[in-house]
Amino acid sequence: MTGPRYTRLVQSLPASVPFTGPETLERNAGRAFRARLGANENGFGPSPRAIAAMQEAAAGAWMYGDPENHDLRAALAAHHGCGPENIMVGEGIDGLLGYLVRLLIEPGDAVVTSDGAYPTFTFHVLGFGGALHKVPYLGNHEDPAALIARAAETGAKLVYIANPDNPMASHHPASTIAAMVEAVPDGCLMILDEAYIDLAPTGTAPDIDPADPRVIRMRTFSKGYGLAGARVGYAIGAAPLIAAFNKIRNHFGMCRTSQIGALAALTDQGWSAHVRAEVARSRSRLAAIATENGLIALPSATNFVTIDCGADGVFARRVLAGLIERGIFARMPFVPPHDRCIRISCGPDAEMVAVAEALPPALAAACTG
């Protein structure tokens, strides 16, 4: 009896978790967090319409979700001024990235991303045997010109950029992203991850023809719409590429209740405006807390604030550990020099008070080593 025979690729990979969840940390500590501010969830919550729709839909949980996601795709197409054939709904951006990599990447195929960018994308690339090529950030921003240059140099099949960016909360204007699309090398597809676009300043989202075969845009209901637990993401792209997802996707992967909740959330743009205002207020409060403690809050186009702790990664990790010890779930960038920072999500007033109380002693403990 030999057990399962893993592929050579799987045998070569470590068993890794891109992000340790707050639940794991709470179990390890034996207590709940005072403030859950590490996963960039929307603590201001989903639209009341979405909550009501999901509560009503719960009685129908015995049914599978619509495998075509018909109603949600039609509504998203109307929202974006394109056809349903340009929309693919999936299990969050994470799920869609996995499908896309499976569609395009064979072992050894080149993929370009930024060093320190969203790790789940690299997790998928490595899981399908792709060859990752990384370029450094330019300051606190991803470097579009360097990404395109590396894609051309390596013959990459995919080049990834997030705008706005995680983990630095920075963003490029629409004109910069549009120019990047124009420069995509032949045979390469640009992934534009717009998870935070609903919270970004006006002028961040470029005007891209959904039929443009050079780019696929990824969006989500997890951030601005407050439905991270529902796992609803969608892609906007050329119809042939969107249709190709049907070759390999899990056609019954979407929860019916999530489909209905996302559709209701999309219709409530008034609530979305409310959330944007709350996020802006919370960003200002986090920036003030950083300043009060002698730290620097970087400009944010997202629902989190990246705070420069003013030293190196070792010091920032001590600050982060101090916050976690004091009941604040937060995270930090993984790669130098950005690991000099910590990252705190926006949230309701009570959680901002908790951060303001916990940060001074966390800093004091970090300074004493």
Return the structure tokens found at 127.
């899981």
pLDDT bin (cut points 50, 70, 90) of residue 340 is very high
> Based on the domain organization, do 213 and 283 belong to the same domain?
no
pLDDT value at position 351? 98
> Based on the domain organization, do 250 and 236 belong to the same domain?
yes
CATH of the domain at 140: 3.40.640.10
Is 123 inside a domain boundary?
yes
> Residue-wise over 179-212: b if at least 16 C-beta within 10 A, else e?
ebbebbbeebbbbbbbbbbbbbeeebbbebebeb
> Based on the domain organization, do 327 and 181 belong to the same domain?
no
C-alpha distances out from residue 98 to 104, 128, 135, 157, 245, Å = 10, 9, 21, 15, 11
Report the number of distinct structural domains present in the chain: 2
Q: What is the mean pLDDT of residues 200-218?
A: 97
| Weakest-pLDDT range from 7-11, 65-69, 151-155, 274-278 | 7-11
Return the structure tokens found at 102.
């499976």
Is 53 inside a domain boundary?
no
Q: How far is residue 313's CA from residue 107's CA, in Å, rounded to a whole number?
A: 33
CA torsion sign for 232, 237, 240, 241 is negative
> Based on the domain organization, do 154 and 93 belong to the same domain?
yes
> Based on the domain organization, do 80 and 192 belong to the same domain?
yes
Of the residues 268, 289, 322, the one at which a domain ends: 268
Contacts (Cβ under 8 Å, ≥6 apart) of 42: 222, 223, 224, 225, 226, 228, 275, 279, 303
**Per-residue pLDDT at 369 exceeds 80:** no
> Based on the domain organization, do 149 and 185 belong to the same domain?
yes
pLDDT value at position 322? 98
| Weakest-pLDDT range from 20-24, 53-57, 184-188 | 20-24
Name the more confident of 340 and 14: 340
> Based on the domain organization, do 107 and 218 belong to the same domain?
yes
- Residue 92's domain comprises 61-268
Q: How far is residue 148's CA from residue 131's CA, in Å, rounded to a whole number?
A: 16
pLDDT value at position 284? 98
**Which residue type occupies 311?**
A
Mean pLDDT of the chain: 97
Is 2 inside a domain boundary?
no
Q: What is the mean pLDDT of residues 70-75?
A: 98
> Based on the domain organization, do 86 and 191 belong to the same domain?
yes
Return the structure tokens found at 172.
């490029």
> Based on the domain organization, do 81 and 198 belong to the same domain?
yes
Q: Which strand (E) or helix (H) includes residue 328?
A: strand 328-329
- Tens digits of residue pLDDT in 277-332: 999 999 999 999 999 999 999 999 999 999 999 999 999 999 999 999 999 999 99
Is 198 inside a domain boundary?
yes
Contact 244, 52 (CB under 8 A): no
Which percentage of the chain shows pLDDT scores above 90?
A: 97
CATH of the domain at 282: 3.90.1150.10
> Based on the domain organization, do 164 and 259 belong to the same domain?
yes
**Per-residue pLDDT at 199 exceeds 80:** yes
Strand runs (DSSP E) across 104-165, as ranges? Answer: 110-114, 131-135, 158-162
Of the residues 268, 290, 322, the one at which a domain ends: 268
**Per-residue pLDDT at 1 exceeds 70:** no
> Based on the domain organization, do 262 and 286 belong to the same domain?
no
> Based on the domain organization, do 231 and 125 belong to the same domain?
yes
pLDDT value at position 110? 98
Of the residues 268, 293, 328, the one at which a domain ends: 268
